[in-house]
Amino acid sequence: MYEKEEDKYQLELGTVNERFIAVASGKGGVGKSTVTANLAVALSERGYKVGVIDADIRGFSIPRILGVEERPKAESENIIIPPQVNGIKVMSMGGLMEEEKPIIWRGPLLSKTFKQFVKEVRWGELDYLLFDLPPGTGDMPLNLMQQLPDSELMVVTTPQVAATKVSGRVAKMADELDCGLLGVVENMSYYQCSECGAKEYIFGQGGGAELAANLDTGLLAELPLVTEVRESSDQGEPIVTVNPEADISQKFFTIADKITP
């Protein structure tokens, strides 16, 4: 059993009208941050006010994917103004230090940084605040889940058995901490030939659907493996921004529509 945190962090300089969404994965390398960034853009394109907290403090990548170049500004000693890109407010360690520099911090300092991102940032009025959590089931994701405002968990996995098994543990950990489950996103579900349209299930098939069924939740989307996603992310332009009509972009819009009123 996991010990529940009595005092969860709450926004002190803003409000969230709809949902806090924590995006998690059982292991790294499944595209969790890519899903977070593109979902944020899809929600913003639907007219919602969106914020993103890059809680993967040691392995931050949200600024690179979203193309955040601005740094946070200090309004006063204890109030931070977050940078914005395409109307999305973003807080990340990537805005405070160079991407190449390693963060060799222990848990308490990482938790303190996360606390500042929640409590000392002037978020203003938002409809959705997304948290890109560290991968795995170790102390850091556990501690952050304990401290999250009342959030719902979105689990990102790949079709592989190893990925879905550990993702299931993340979801069950969240359940014990009273963090509701929003659904499962299966990333890298298949590769589709650009010439003939044939699908190849490189990493297996059906893992996300099986995980969703085991957790009694919905499968929000099966996202294809698309080279353009990596290329656009490396250039600081999410695929939903670069090519909103692409099949994978439309799937992100579908996820957004499923989780909004």
Binding region for ATP: 26-33
3-state helix, strand and coil shares in percent for the chain, rounded to the nearest 5: 35, 25, 40
In Å, how far are 156, 218, 261 from 210, measured between CA atoms? 13, 10, 26
Residues 202/225, Cβ–Cβ less than 8 Å = yes
Task: Compute the distance between CA of residue 50 and CA of residue 32 in angstroms, rounded to an integer.
Answer: 17
Task: Compute the distance between CA of residue 121 and CA of residue 253 in angstroms, rounded to an integer.
Answer: 28
Retrieve residue 59's tokens. Answer: 């392995």
Task: Compute the distance between CA of residue 114 and CA of residue 240 in angstroms, rounded to an integer.
Answer: 27
Annotated binding site: 26-33
Task: Compute the distance between CA of residue 42 and CA of residue 92 in angstroms, rounded to an integer.
Answer: 20
Nearest Cα to 192, choosing from 228, 245, 157? Answer: 228
Maximum C-alpha span of the chain = 59
Report DSSP state, residue 235: T
